[in-house]
Amino acid sequence: MKTKEFQSILKKKKIDFALFYNVDYDKADANMLYFSGYKGIGALVITRNRKFLIVPKMEIGRVKGIKRHVWDKNYRLFEFVKKKVKGKVIGIDKNVFTLNHYKELKKHFKNAKTADISKICGKLRTIKANKEIKIIRNACKITDSILKKCFSNFKMFRKETDVAAFLGNETKKLGCEMAFNPVVASGKNAAVPHHVPENIKLKNGFCVIDFGVKYKGYCSDETRTIYIGKPKEKEIRLYNFLLGIQKDAINNARIGKKCHDLHNKVNKDLGKYKKYFTHGLGHGIGIDIHELPNLTEKSKDILKRGMAFTIEPGIYFKNRLGIRIEDDILLVEKGIEILTKAKKELITI
Amino acid sequence: MKTKEFQSILKKKKIDFALFYNVDYDKADANMLYFSGYKGIGALVITRNRKFLIVPKMEIGRVKGIKRHVWDKNYRLFEFVKKKVKGKVIGIDKNVFTLNHYKELKKHFKNAKTADISKICGKLRTIKANKEIKIIRNACKITDSILKKCFSNFKMFRKETDVAAFLGNETKKLGCEMAFNPVVASGKNAAVPHHVPENIKLKNGFCVIDFGVKYKGYCSDETRTIYIGKPKEKEIRLYNFLLGIQKDAINNARIGKKCHDLHNKVNKDLGKYKKYFTHGLGHGIGIDIHELPNLTEKSKDILKRGMAFTIEPGIYFKNRLGIRIEDDILLVEKGIEILTKAKKELITI
């Protein structure tokens, strides 16, 4: 994605080449995946006019559509990189480059300087290309369909982990991965925003289900809160109050708006409940489940066309209950496109 | 785990406190999890006589059995850490500490020096405590049972992703997570050691299934290769040849042995097939799926009592076939304990 744009930035910033690496076969380096489609072990080099991977022999079957060299294991990774590229200024993502890898890099590129390209990469990735938008749109569609199926089958689940297993199973059956370990939080567990599903009976009350898939490398992220049992009047009121705020927050998102203004508007709307809203309003989605922009109190990000992000206000009463409603939206020229479309009126089971 | 031992090392090395951090709620920092049981966002501080977490308000529900401070979001994370602890030498794991977090740390601890504690943590974690051994033993038992169920249900699977979905579903139903995205590689896909299951019909021939669970925070890692269809005589011979080598390698593992000797013995045993064995013989397992020791050609690690690791030789013929057989073993005083016990004779489907 956007290699040419990136290369012209390298030129402008007087960076000779950018270097990305990944030492873990099961976790991709997001930038490497973005620029090369490759998610295995190895290194990616992008010069002002070339782009190639260096991969161990065991990983060559995973490389597609990009030039690659086989990493000769007689050399350390960056030592081998040096055989393939020269330069005085190396662009590295200092948000992910570790201190020991940096030390190793300096060992082999003694006189080179490094430039932090984390912001460059972050900014490129935050504005989605049409190809990415199509993928994310599909990821959201898949998520909707799985959530719908989950709710219509909900009576057969006995435990929080049953729900998580169902979500995982449906995801895998469609050839997707899960974007993250889903949250299935019933009863007072719902007050813990990142609750890990437990092997315990589903409790009555609100049940927060936060779930997303990874489809063709891109994440969706959707939360619905349903009710197990019969909700009290005031619980329904609380849910609808939050739902109204969530809808307003979505409608408030427009090109040019400041992210912190969106968050703070929700804080204001929450009134006396503000203190029970303990996280950010939203975050960008893409290859990573958390990308730019940040929709938080102190964010300096500004909304731009092509950004895809979540809107997810929540209210959490410790040891009592929790409600969160989250959609993924895309900023388009004329306003917004809501990507996730699962029913938002309170579902009772 | 082993906090006191760690604290006495800090004292010996003249380190005032160790600092771990995690900014991603879905991925734990392994050291933080090891020393605190906590896997959310925040920081862990261990001084020579204290240990405490700093966590955002939204994560307090996930903290158990350890002192914690709520992170006041008016401060940056390390800025807030500074309010709670002083010191001139800070121990950090430079294998995971990123350059930008380091810069941020230095901003708030201007005159402090840092010491790399990656090796200290790695060494502590590589020798499993009894409590950890019990958990890993159970993780392996669960993996065996799921694999067994998978093979006896195998006829109902049509696609590689069906198998992966089944493994995931069984894992989640038991309240576990998957230790990694499983490999389900049929036909020529089996020649790609880290093949990602595809939404395509299972192909005849060898089918490599590499799967592990995360149980109470600890990983198992087991591979079996089965055969779909009717294997040829020479395919059965090849399988049994590799199986013999794998069993020998397990029997060869003993306290005091050099890891590279184990790997090189397998290379030697493979004879003309050596060049088709494209990865390391094994790796430690624990909180991370890949830990010390490394059983590779150039490893300097030596086997010690209490180490848990994989033995996983493989043979891969590009675009044709692949076979890998992997067990988890534990080094005990009297020799070895094989933790994974799924049937190893060639299963045909």
Could you tell me the two tokens for A334? Answer: 């004329």
The tokens for A290 are 């958390």
Query: Which residues partner with B211 through β-bridges?
Result: B222
Statement to judge: residues A59 and A92 lie in one domain: yes
- Tokens for A245? 């705020």
Decide if A123 contacts A292 (C-beta within 8 A): yes
Q: Which residues contact A161 (CB under 8 A, 6 or more apart)?
A: A184, A197, A198, A199, B172, B173, B174, B175
Candidates A70, A90, A119, A172: best to mutate against B (most CBs of B within 10 A) is: A172
With the C-alpha atoms ordered B152, B156, B160, B164, is the resulting torsion angle positive or negative?
Answer: negative
Query: Residue B227 half-sphere exposure, CB side, CA atoms within 13 Å?
Result: 16
Last residue of one domain, picked from the residues B99, B125, B151: B125
CB distance A194–B40 less than 8 Å?
yes
Q: Which residue has the tokens 């397990």?
A: B250
Sort out which chain B residues have CB atoms less than 8 A from A103's CB and list them.
Answer: 94
Distance from CA of A97 to the nearest CA of B (A): 5
Sheet holding A177-178, edge to edge: A177-178, A213-215, A218-219
Does position B31 have pLDDT exceeding 80, yes or no?
yes
Q: Is the CB of A42 inside 8 Å of chain B's CB atoms?
A: no
Is residue B158 domain-shared with residue B218, that is, in the same domain? yes
Per-residue model confidence (pLDDT) at position B166: 92
Residues in chain A closer than 8 A to B197 (CB atoms): 172, 175
Residue B345 domain flag: no
Same domain, B9 and B19: yes
- Measured on CA atoms in the order B289, B290, B291, B295, is the torsion positive or negative? positive
Radius of gyration of chain B (CA): 22
Let me know: does A71 contact B278? Beta carbons within 8 Å: no
pLDDT in tens, B134-188: 999 999 999 999 999 999 999 999 999 999 999 998 998 888 989 998 999 999 9
Contact flag A95-B97 (C-beta cutoff 8 Å): no
Contact in structure between B212 and B326 (CB atoms under 8 Å):
no
Q: Does B178 share its domain with B84?
A: no
Q: How far is Cα A201 from Cα A206, in angstroms, rounded to an integer?
A: 14
Residue B72 near chain A (CB below 8 Å) = no
Contact predicate A20/A95, CB 8 Å: no
Nearest CA in chain A to B201: A175
Distance CA B205, CA B185 (A): 10
Q: DSSP letter for A156, please.
A: G
Cα–Cα dist B67/A243, whole Å = 36
Residue B186, beta-bridge partner list: B207
Biggest CA–CA distance in chain A, Å, is 70
Interface mutation vs chain B, best among A70, A98, A153, A183, most B CBs within 10 Å: A98
Domain boundary at B96, B125, B154, which?
B125
Domain membership of residue A111 (yes or no) is yes
B273 and B316 fall within a common domain:
yes
A146 touches chain B (CB under 8 A): no
Asked whether the beta carbons of A45 and A119 are under 8 A apart, the reply is no
Considering only CB atoms, which chain A residues are within 8 Å of B289?
26
pLDDT at residue B185 in the model: 97
Decide: B144 and B213 in contact? Cβ < 8 Å: no
Q: What is the pLDDT of residue A196?
A: 82
| Tally of helices (H runs) and strands (E runs) in chain A | 9, 19
Specify the length of chain B in residues.
Answer: 349
d(CA A149, CA B237): 47
In a domain, B28, yes or no: yes
Stretches where chain A sits below pLDDT 50 are none
Q: In the structure, what pLDDT confidence band is assigned to residue B70 with cuts at 50, 70 and 90?
A: very high
Token look-up 């300097």 returns: B300
A195 in contact with chain B, both atoms CB, cutoff 8 A: yes
Percent of chain B having pLDDT more than 90? 88
How far apart CA A18 and CA A45 sit, in angstroms, is 6
CB contact under 8 A, A194 and B98: no
Interface confidence, given as ipTM, is 0.83
Same-domain pairing of B119 and B132: no
> How many residue pairs from chains A and B have C-beta atoms closer than 8 A?
138
**Number of domains comprising chain A:** 2
pLDDT of residue B74: 86
Give the minimum alpha-carbon distance from A130 to chain B in angstroms, rounded to a whole number.
24
Examine residue A346 and state whether it is found in any structural domain, yes or no. Answer: no
In a domain, B64, yes or no: yes
User: Hey, is the C-beta of A115 within 8 angstroms of any chain B C-beta?
Assistant: no
CATH number at residue B145: 3.90.230.10
- Same domain (yes/no): A98, A214: no
pLDDT of residue B175: 84
pLDDT tens across B272-293, in order? 999 999 999 999 999 999 999 9
Q: Are B279 and B194 in contact (CB under 8 A)?
A: no
Is residue B349 less than 8 Å (CB to CB) from chain A?
Answer: no
Which residues, 6 or more positions from B271, have their beta carbon under 8 angstroms from its beta carbon? Answer: none
B316 and A58 within 8 Å at the Cβ level: the answer is: yes
- Decide if B19 contacts B90 (C-beta within 8 A): yes
Is A344:A147 a contact under the CB 8 Å cutoff? no
- Binding-face residues of B in 229-258 toward A, CB within 8 A: none
Instruction: Let me know whether A244 and A282 are in one domain.
Output: yes
Q: Are the Cβ atoms of A97 and B102 closer than 8 angstroms?
A: no
Shortest CB distance from A58 goes to which of B173, B193, B289? B193
Of B78, B102, B125, the residue that ends a domain is B125
Residue B346 counted as domain residue? no
Question: What is the model's pLDDT at position B61?
Answer: 84
Does B195 contact A102 at a Cβ distance shorter than 8 Å? no
The CATH number covering residue A60 comes to 3.40.350.10
What residues have CB less than 8 Å from B12, skipping those under 6 apart? none
Task: Kindly report the nearest CA distance between residue B164 and chain A, in angstroms.
Answer: 7
CB of A150 within 8 Å of a chain B CB? The answer is no
pLDDT of res. A257: 96
| A residues 276-305 lying closer than 8 A (beta carbon) to B | 278-279, 289-290, 297
**CA nearest A324: which of A232, A249, A214?**
A249
pLDDT of residue A198: 85
Write down the pLDDT at residue A24: 81
What is the DSSP track for A19-30?
Answer: EEEE--TTS--H
| Cα-trace Rg, chain A | 22
Are residues A317 and A178 located together in one domain of the fold?
yes
First vs last C-alpha separation in chain A:
44
Q: How far apart are CA A67 and CA A50, in angstroms?
A: 9
Half-sphere exposure of B37 (CA within 13 A, CB side): 15
Quick check: pTM over 0.90? no
Looking at the DSSP bridge assignments, the partners of residue A115 are: A91
Residue B57's pLDDT is 87
CB-CB neighbors (< 8 A) of B59 in chain A: 193-194
* B309, pLDDT greater than 90: yes
Cβ distance A165 to B173 less than 8 Å, yes or no, reads yes
Does the beta carbon of B197 lie under 8 angstroms from any beta carbon of chain A?
Answer: yes
Q: Does A72 touch chain B (CB under 8 A)?
A: no
Q: What is the pLDDT of residue A26?
A: 73
From the CB of residue B347, how many other CB atoms can be counted at a distance below 10 Å?
A: 16
- Residue B328 in contact with residue B222, Cβ under 8 Å? yes
For residue A35, is it within any domain?
A: yes
B172, A164: Cβ pair inside 8 Å? yes
A326 and A232 share one domain: yes
Q: Which domain covers residue B24, as residue numbers? A: 3-125
Instruction: Check residue A288 and give its pLDDT.
Output: 94
Percentage of chain B surpassing pLDDT 70? 100
Q: Which residues of A touch B56 (CB under 8 A)?
A: 278-279
Q: Are A111 and A121 members of one domain?
A: yes
Instruction: List Cβ neighbours of B275 (8 Å cut-off, separation of 6 or more).
Output: none
Nearest 5°: the CA angle A280, A210, B220 is 110
Residue B347 lies in a domain: no
The answer to whether the CB of A167 falls within 8 A of the CB of B166 is no
| 3-class SS shares of chain A: helix, strand, coil, % to 5 | 40, 25, 35
User: Would you call B172 and A165 a contact, using CB atoms and an 8 Å cutoff?
Assistant: yes
* Interface contact B156, partner A, CB < 8 A: no
- Long-range contacts for A229-233 (Cβ within 8 Å, ≥24 apart)? A229/A204, A229/A205, A229/A348, A229/A349, A230/A348, A231/A346, A231/A348
Chain position carrying tokens 């927050």: A249
User: Secondary structure of chain B in the HEC alphabet?
Assistant: CCHHHHHHHHHHCCCCEEEEEECCCCCCCHHHHHHHCCCCCEEEEEECCCEEEEECHHHHHHCCCCCEEECCCCCCHHHHHHHHCCCCEEEECCCCCEHHHHHHHHHHCCCCEEEECHHHHHHHHHCCCHHHHHHHHHHHHHHHHHHHHHHHCHHHCCEHHHHHHHHHHHHHHCCCEECCCCEEEEHHHHHCCCCCCCCCECCCEEEEEEECEEECCEECCEEEEEEECCCCHHHHHHHHHHHHHHHHHHHHCCCCCEHHHHHHHHHHHHHHHHHHCCCCCEEECCCCCCEEEEECCCCCCECCCCCEEEECCEEEECCCEEEECEEEEEEECCEEEECCCCCCCCCEC
Average pLDDT over residues B16-22: 97
Q: Are residues B106 and B134 in the same domain?
A: no
Closest by CA position to B317, among listed B188, B167, B146: B188
Q: How far is CA B181 from CA A61, A177, A213, A344, in A?
A: 17, 8, 13, 31
Nearest CA of chain B to the CA of A333: how many Å?
A: 32
Residue B41 Cα, gap to closest chain A Cα (Å): 10
A169 touches chain B (CB under 8 A): yes
